Amino acid sequence: MTTVTAPRVPARLARFVLRMFRPHLYVTYGTLWVLALESTAVTLTGTPWRPTGATWTRVASVVLALLFLRMLDEQKDLDHDRVHHPDRPLVTGAITAVELRGAMAVLTAVVACLNAARSPAAALLILAALGYATLLAPLERMSATVRDRQLLNLAVTCPVQVLLGVYVYGSLAADGTLAADRRGAVLLALCACVFLHFEFARKTAWRPAPGARLYSADLGPRRCAMVTAAWAAGAVGCQLVLFLPDGAAGLLPCLTAALPAWGLRRFLRARRGPWPLPAATGFVACTYLTLIVRASVPR
């Protein structure tokens, strides 16, 4: 059993974060997601949008929630990683489960305090997302079906992402920035489709590597590729529903569809290797940046 003195824990956690959370990816994703969701939700009401202190509270809360989820996943996947990824920090002892759980408790307290200072409703919404995620660990331990069947596991875990989106939108409604309406549901569906496109893209390949957990193993590579592209089409479709009344400018989201279309074509023609991940990453970034720019440009 590894014994670690308290003064060494922050450095060990920092090394874990830099390796397993990669701030340039996760922080960028969380920031773009929140800014795109908030800015679009506000401008759809006809109100000009500019980031405020509450905006950065939402950004910080979502990024910290993503770190919480990453720490939770590391513990849930421990048995699998012992066999297939023996270099992971929790397997090698570079970090311990106790240290991760302690950090998760601190993260929970931080996001609760950040949001309670502005709105009790916002604090409850972010805690609901973290609480749901925490329940997944015992569920996967009790059910091998949920743990091992990738599509079922996705159906169970995806609501965490939706709940984080509900937190952002709900906190805007709670502080009086907007009145929730059906366009909010379309906007949340848009964000869910963006996430699912990337999620499927990173787990789609013609032949799985040893130990890889791929959706294409269940669906087959061609069918999985079509599902991956369909999620991107869903995101574009949601944007058309929201913005087509703007006239020709409402067709701008169709430009981002070129990335998943190219990814699908390349994957099917290559007949080997994984889905081209730069295309999926670019689609996420371009979609959210387009929404932010649209909301930031005066009309």
Q: Could you say which of 1.10.1060, 1.20.120, 1.25.40, 3.40.30 is the CATH number of the domain covering 181-299?
A: 1.20.120
pLDDT of 55 over the 90 cut: yes
What Cα–Cα distance (Å) separates residue 236 from each residue in 61, 187, 229?
27, 11, 11
Instruction: Find out whether 272 and 206 touch, Cβ atoms under 8 Å.
Output: yes
E strands along 42-167, which residues?
Answer: none
Domain with CATH 1.10.357.140 in the chain: 1-178
pLDDT of 44 over the 80 cut: yes
Class of the CATH-defined domain 1-178: mainly alpha
Q: Which pair of structure tokens corresponds to residue 86?
A: 């023996």
Length of the chain: 299
Tens digit of each residue's pLDDT (9 = 90 or more) over 236-272: 999 999 988 776 566 777 789 999 999 999 999 999 9
How is residue 93 annotated by DSSP? T
Those residues whose C-beta lies under 8 Å from the C-beta of residue 195, and which sit 6 or more positions away, are 158, 161
Instruction: Find out whether 191 and 234 touch, Cβ atoms under 8 Å.
Output: no
Q: Which pair of structure tokens corresponds to residue 222?
A: 């061609």
pLDDT of 177 over the 60 cut: yes
Domain with CATH 1.20.120 in the chain: 181-299
pLDDT tier at 211, thresholds 50, 70, 90: confident
Quote the CA–CA distance of 236 and 229 in Å, as a whole number.
11
CB atoms within 10 A of CB 176: 8
